[in-house]
Amino acid sequence: MIPIRPAELSDIPAITRIYAHAVKHGTASFELDPPDEAEITRRYTSLCDGGFPFVVGEINGEVAGYAYAGPYRARRAYRFTVEDSIYIDPEMQRRGLGRVLLERLLIDAEARGFRQMIAVIGDSVNTSSIALHAALGFRMVGTFEAVGFKFGRWLDSVLMQKPLGDGASTPPA
């Protein structure tokens, strides 16, 4: 059992470190330069102030990964749709943390009244993220081919979607 809890300001250094590694070495994020703690704090505060869920998972008492749901798009009509982000410390991968983080994120987002969750998965070769989302009920929507350029190569964005709660079957409350 991996403990999952709401993120706190005191988690920012660990979140910044985990994300910096993903930016520098991976293609899940299309950022090229890792943001500093001040920028991560700004992003965290903006999400929390906006009512979006942000959680961390701990292994051996240390933050080993985090996940959050943020706005899918800024225009008001998208207000019931969120996009998920999940990042795991490279030393803590392949332990089931991504799954429990995403499971909790789905519960928290639904409880806050969101109706759709979108996964924008960086790089179509990121098969573990695609498989994780599929295992938790996301369906493949499509792939934007060669929309990012990082590490000297073109990257795809894979789009997956999962309805939350009543999804689109009823108007939002």
In tens, the pLDDT along 4-22 reads 999 999 999 999 999 999 9
Which among 34, 54, 157, 169 is positioned nearest to 104, based on CA atoms?
54
Rounded to two decimals, the pTM is: 0.96
SS (H, E, C) the chain: CCCEEECCHHHHHHHHHHHHHHHHHCCCCCCCCCCCHHHHHHHHHHHHHCCCCEEEEEECCEEEEEEEEEECCCCHHHCCEEEEEEEECHHHCCCCHHHHHHHHHHHHHHHCCCCEEEEEEECCCCHHHHHHHHHCCCEEEEEEEEEEEECCEEEEEEEEEEECCCCCCCCCC
| CATH number listed for the domain at residues 4-163 | 3.40.630.30
Q: What is the mean pLDDT of the chain?
A: 97
In tens, the pLDDT along 26-70 reads 999 999 999 999 999 999 999 999 999 999 999 999 999 999 999
Reply yes or no on whether the pLDDT at 1 is more than 90. Answer: no
Phi, psi of 75 (to 5 degrees): -65, 145
Mean pLDDT of 146-158: 98
Listed by start position, the domains of the chain span 4-163
CA distance 143 to 154: 13
